[in-house]
Amino acid sequence: MAATKTEKIINDLKPEILKVVTEHLTAIANETHDVAIAWKKMQDDTANVVMTLLGKHLPTSKITSPKSKSVYPDIKIINEEGTFAIDIKVNEDSKNPWFDMARLDTMLESRIAKYVEEWELVIQFRNTDGKFIKAYFNLFREVVGNHKFSGGIKYRPYDGKVRPKTWSEFDKDVIYWDTKEKFLDGVEKSIKYRWKSNISKHLVAKLSAEEKEEFKKLFDTPLDIPEESDEDENGDVNPDLFNQK
């Protein structure tokens, strides 16, 4: 599918986005000496300068930022082509980024089906004094790391939250998911691997011999399990994880 006009504009703005963010965060370096609050000021200021830039190039779009920082995304662009998202992450340099990007079990319906395209603007700062170091701007999928055991996208094992690549991979411009098709395949691989891992580690040991036989039969003769609505309590539909491509 060909990229929308909005996607092309934002992708083409990458050098300018990095330029204005770098210039601004470098200029305010002396104001962000408190490491405890440096990340928030950098995040807020970055959102403001990027929204100003986007407004000049997307004059007919509605560009907003949430009042609460716990709401995704940090910048939302809405126009006749659909809804687009830019999220801003600020991380210290002394350890690899480990921020939440999405959840394996809900990302297809809450993210991929909801937004035409998504980008991540990642800010690296020095943890000793809170000074800005570098900014990175990429498509969401280009920021996602690789899970070495599943061959799929990187995630935190216990809750399935999607995780980014390392600082070294950012600097080397390593991209594991250069197409949407590869990314969706990576999502599926990690979902299946996580199920397999959880069953092996947490379920099998709790099953009796009889229960294990019942589970084995599921592969040949699925149980007659009552149908449940695909709608959650808010009436939103949760689509099948593997049938949406």
**What confidence tens digit (pLDDT) does each residue in 18-28 have?**
999 999 999 98
Task: Name the band, by pLDDT with cuts 50, 70 and 90, for residue 245.
Answer: very low
Task: Name the band, by pLDDT with cuts 50, 70 and 90, for residue 135.
Answer: very high
Task: Name the band, by pLDDT with cuts 50, 70 and 90, for residue 92.
Answer: very high
pTM here?
A: 0.87
**Is the pLDDT reported for residue 44 higher than 70?**
yes
Q: How many CA atoms lie within 13 A of 233 on its CB side?
A: 0
For 28-55, what is the mean pLDDT?
87
For residues 39 and 75, the model is more confident at 75
Task: Name the band, by pLDDT with cuts 50, 70 and 90, for residue 237.
Answer: low
Q: Please give the structure tokens belonging to residue 79.
A: 């126009």
**What span, in angstroms and rounded, lies between the C-alpha atoms of 59 and 67?**
22
Which of 35-44, 61-70, 142-151, 204-213 is modeled with the greatest confidence?
Answer: 142-151
Given this model, what pLDDT does residue 32 score?
A: 58
Three-state SS for 86?
Answer: strand
Q: Please give the structure tokens belonging to residue 160.
A: 């399935």
Q: What is the mean pLDDT of the chain?
A: 91
Given this model, what pLDDT does residue 242 score?
A: 41
Given this model, what pLDDT does residue 187 score?
A: 98
Structural contact between residues 45 and 33, judged by C-beta atoms closer than 8 angstroms: no
**What does the pLDDT look like over 159-207, one tens digit per residue?**
999 999 999 999 999 999 999 999 999 999 999 999 999 999 989 989 9
**Cis amide prior to 164 (ω within 30 degrees):** no
For 37-44, what is the mean pLDDT?
88
Given this model, what pLDDT does residue 244 score?
A: 42
For residues 225 and 66, the model is more confident at 66
For 112-120, what is the mean pLDDT?
98
Q: Please give the structure tokens belonging to residue 55.
A: 């407004």
Q: Please give the structure tokens belonging to residue 64.
A: 């907003």
Given this model, what pLDDT does residue 230 score?
A: 55
Give the angle 55-57-63 at the CA atoms, nearest 5°. Answer: 30
Task: Go through the domains of the chain in sequence order and give each one's CATH number.
Answer: 5-185 (3.40.600.10)
For 69-94, what is the mean pLDDT?
96
Given this model, what pLDDT does residue 39 score?
A: 86
Q: Please give the structure tokens belonging to residue 164.
A: 């980014």
Give the angle 145-161-128 at the CA atoms, nearest 5°. Answer: 70
Q: Considering the chain, what percentage of its residues have pLDDT values greater than 90?
A: 75
Given this model, what pLDDT does residue 118 score?
A: 99
